[in-house]
Amino acid sequence: MNRLIVPLALVAMAGLIYAVVGGDAFRGGPAQAPTPADAAPPPPAPPPPPPIVAMDAGVPFDMAVPEDTASVETLRQFGVFGRDAQYLDALLHGQFDRAEDKGGPTYRSSEGTQVTFRVEGGLVTGARADFGERAMSANLTGLSWIFSGQRDHIPLHWEGSTAGERYDGSYRDRFGRTVYYRGALQISGDEGLYGPAWIELSARPFKSP
């Protein structure tokens, strides 16, 4: 009996030592206290990028265009007013042919529409469009991409029952810029409906009637 007591005591002591020392090691050790880095709040998220604002919003048409933004793509986006006239050929290529200048760079479409641009200081400040005899209002609004950019349109509907009727006024484009216009309907038309004969568009009020 006494012979069994000693081995049992050794087994019990070994179990106690394992429970105290080996148990923590087996479970991965005692929990570590949090470090200052763990306790610090996460860094704030970066601010969102600034919204993209149209370059011409709220500024005059005839403001000089920075060289790094003067390009054919800029004319396509915002229209030709206030833009460098040297890009007109590239902008109109494929839809208009260059014609004899009529006081400014002049172009003619296959539909018979002729457009002459007014250029001051190298920048486009106005234009006149003369339409073919059978032109309708759609021929006028079809020029919107030239003057107002790809995502806007000229808000004018020029078809009427009065031959030679005159129009004079202004409108605001999607950038808040004022465009002045004047023009007239055809003096002959189909079934008494007259389309546009000519229109002038300007970035500034007209100086003469």
| Maximum CA extent, the chain | 135
pLDDT of residue 75: 84
Residue 36 lies inside a defined structural domain of this protein: no
pLDDT of residue 16: 54
Q: Can you list the alpha helix ranges (DSSP code H) found in the chain?
A: 2-17, 23-26, 36-39, 72-78, 88-92, 137-141, 144-147
Checking if the pLDDT of 101 tops 50, the result is yes
Residue 32 lies inside a defined structural domain of this protein: no
- Two structure tokens written together for 117: 């641009």
The string of pLDDT tens digits covering residues 60-88 is 554 444 444 467 888 888 889 888 899 99
The string of pLDDT tens digits covering residues 5-20 is 545 555 556 555 555 4
CA separation, residue 124 to residues 27, 49, 83, 158, 207 (Å): 80, 33, 6, 24, 17
- Domains identified in the chain, total number: 1
Backbone angles phi, psi at 184, to 5 degrees: -155, 160
The string of pLDDT tens digits covering residues 85-99 is 999 999 999 999 999
Q: Which of 54-68, 157-171, 182-196 has the highest mean pLDDT?
A: 157-171
Residue 140 lies inside a defined structural domain of this protein: yes
Judged by average pLDDT, the poorest of 5-9, 77-81, 156-160, 187-191 is 5-9
pLDDT of residue 76: 85
Please tell me the number of Cα atoms within 13 Å of 46 on its side-chain side: 3
**Interatomic CA distance for residues 127 and 27, integer angstroms:** 84
Threshold 0.85, pTM exceeds:
no
Structural domain of 103: 67-202
Residue 56 lies inside a defined structural domain of this protein: no
pLDDT of residue 94: 92
Residue 16 lies inside a defined structural domain of this protein: no
Q: Which of 7-11, 13-17, 50-54, 166-170 has the highest mean pLDDT?
A: 166-170
Residue 127 lies inside a defined structural domain of this protein: yes
Q: How confident is the model at residue 193 (pLDDT cuts 50, 70, 90)?
A: confident
